Amino acid sequence: MQKATPLNPPLSGGKHIGCAVSPLPDKGGRGVGFLQYKTTLTSLARSNRKNPTVAEQKMWQELLRNKQFFNYKFTRQKPIGGYIVDFYCSDLQLVIEIDGDSHAEAVEYDAERTRILEAYGLTVVRYTNHEIMHNLEGVYDDLRRRIKHA
């Protein structure tokens, strides 16, 4: 199976004050470049992985885990910059965020967060809890279309 061309070029670097250098995209870096993140986010990300929301659990189990989605590797609760993203695929430079009810009140924060992540060269895609819980097939189709995978 042939993989689609990544949506964005590999990262060439990034700066974030008060952060430690961590290779992006995965442990070991694979020579893609470096993006910095706050080391204090590591334990919080680990905790988030142990206590996923129902929608995150469904997305992970039914769509992204074990390279189920066109053989792309996704990680969950990945520290990037000053944030922890819900799901991340290094090959696609793709962030997937699942927005719960609280995000309706955080529109400006989410927009700024998206702007910063996109400044790192990442593509950010957002789905609601409702979309994940009631239309996972539609989410799958949307993701497939976004990566231009046949």
The confidence score (pLDDT) of residue 41 equals 87
Query: What would the pLDDT profile of 99-111 be if each residue is shown by its tens digit?
Result: 987 655 678 889 9
Tokens of 10: 């590999």
CA–CA separation, 121 and 63 (whole Å): 24
Residue 138 DSSP SS3? helix
The predicted model gives 15-41 an average pLDDT of 47
- On the question of pLDDT at 24 being above 60, the answer is no
pLDDT at 103: 54
Of 113, 125, 112, 111, the residue nearest 83 (C-alpha): 113
Q: What is the helix (H) or strand (E) element at residue 45, kind and residue range? A: helix 41-50
pTM for the complete prediction?
Answer: 0.73
The DSSP string of 68-122 is TTTT---EEEEEEBTEEEEEEETTTTEEEEEE-GGGGG-HHHHHHHHHHHHHTT-
Percent of the chain with pLDDT over 70: 71
- Quote the pLDDT of residue 72: 96
Tell me what pLDDT residue 149 has: 53
Q: CB-based contacts of 65: which residues, under 8 Å, 6+ apart?
A: 74
Question: Is 88's pLDDT higher than 50?
Answer: yes
Given 3.40.50.150, 3.40.960.10, 3.30.1490.20, 3.40.50.20, which CATH number is that of 20-146? Answer: 3.40.960.10
H or E element: which one contains 143?
helix 136-146
* Domain-wise residue ranges, the chain: 20-146
- pLDDT tens sequence across 32-86: 344 566 778 888 889 889 999 999 999 999 999 999 999 999 999 999 988 999 9
Residue 9 half-sphere exposure toward CB, CA atoms < 13 A: 2
Rounded mean pLDDT, 16-36: 41
